[in-house]
Amino acid sequence: MTSVPVSNRAVSSRAGSARGGSARGGRRFGRASRKTVLNLLGLLVALFALFPVLWMISTAFKPATEIYSLTPHPIPLHPTLANFRAVFSGSVIGISYWTFLKNSLFITITAVVASSFIGLLAAIALGRFKFKFRTTYLIMLLIVQLLPQQALVVSLFIDFRKLNLLDSLVGLILVYTAFALPVTIWMMRNFAATVPRDLEEAAAIDGAGAWTRFWRILLPLVSPGLVATSVFAFIFAYNEFVFALTFLGTDTAKFTLPLYVEYFYGQNSTNWGAIMASSTLFTIPVLAFFLFTQRRLKSGLVAGAVKG
């Protein structure tokens, strides 16, 4: 879990503050209590950040009597799995959680693979070639990624209606692939640019064709970047709501997880135990996935966002 490397700079600045403290004299105790205060503030921030998710999980394990008790307890006194059972068995809206998980994973994984591949090709062009319209293309990507999705959804709805892509998982895959692309390309191009050109040239001299060079040299070297960008694409596609809401209007069995959770909430707006259980089963996989990959993510997050 030690993902943030202590940079030399951080160390030296801390040493600097120690020096400054002793120069002013008698601040040793002050520094110790300052550290305590900072750590307490840190815990407070962590609590603020985690509280809603923890409360969701805790509610999901509570029996109804505890959910509506006059004094809410942070930890369930009599934990129960009844809420989860209701979600898995589909006793509340008739279809089990597994159906929606399957839909979500199918759509998300297909879209991530497609956008990663297409995005990588474009990233190679933008990261490794100088050509006219390169800057124009990059600006186009910046603008496109910021177009409001609920504005485009009207137009896409009408197109998809004509193409019979409503109530279809394929339609969502197409949309998610497209909307994941700008960010994927934008982030990946930095990774593609870092692959040393000499390596490729050496391989070309040794007679490796473009395809071989792509598979044997470029791909292994950009794969860390590929992981980072695909995590972002995954989170986007797995969490997406507006398009799913609009395109999967009537066919409940085709719902993705976010749509299912929202629908579930709409259908049983007082059964908070079951709602939180469904929400937990939707949220925990993506948070676990995020925790698992966050080490690689942070650099990508900063590189992709701050730098553009």
The footprint of another protein on residues 136-175 (CB under 8 A) is 137-139, 141-144, 146-159, 161, 174-175
49 binds another protein (CB under 8 A): yes
Amino acid at 268: N
42 binds another protein (CB under 8 A): yes
Q: Give the C-alpha separation, 187 to 191, whole Å.
A: 7
H-helix or E-strand spanning residue 35: helix 28-60
Phi-psi region of 196 (alpha: psi -120 to 50; beta: other; left: phi over 0): beta
Region binding another protein by CB under 8 A among candidate stretches 83-91, 199-207, 220-228, 255-263: 255-263
Choose which of 118, 169, 203, 221 interacts with another protein (CB under 8 A).
118
Going by C-beta distance under 8 Å and a sequence separation of 6 or more, which residues neighbour residue 48? none
Query: Smaller CB distance to another protein: residue 16 or 79?
Result: 16
Both tokens of 163, joined, read 């193409």
Q: Give the C-alpha separation, 305 to 187, whole Å.
A: 8
Choose which of 100, 200, 282, 300 interacts with another protein (CB under 8 A).
282
Amino acid at 74: P
Per CB under 8 A, which of residues 221..240 are in contact with another protein?
Answer: 235, 238-239
45 binds another protein (CB under 8 A): yes
Q: Give the C-alpha separation, 56 to 265, whole Å.
A: 13
Region binding another protein by CB under 8 A among candidate stretches 76-84, 91-99, 216-224, 295-303: 295-303
CB of 179 to another protein, least distance (A): 7
Region binding another protein by CB under 8 A among candidate stretches 48-56, 79-87, 88-96, 215-223: 48-56
Q: Give the C-alpha separation, 240 to 238, whole Å.
A: 6
Region binding another protein by CB under 8 A among candidate stretches 25-33, 45-53, 87-95, 220-228: 45-53
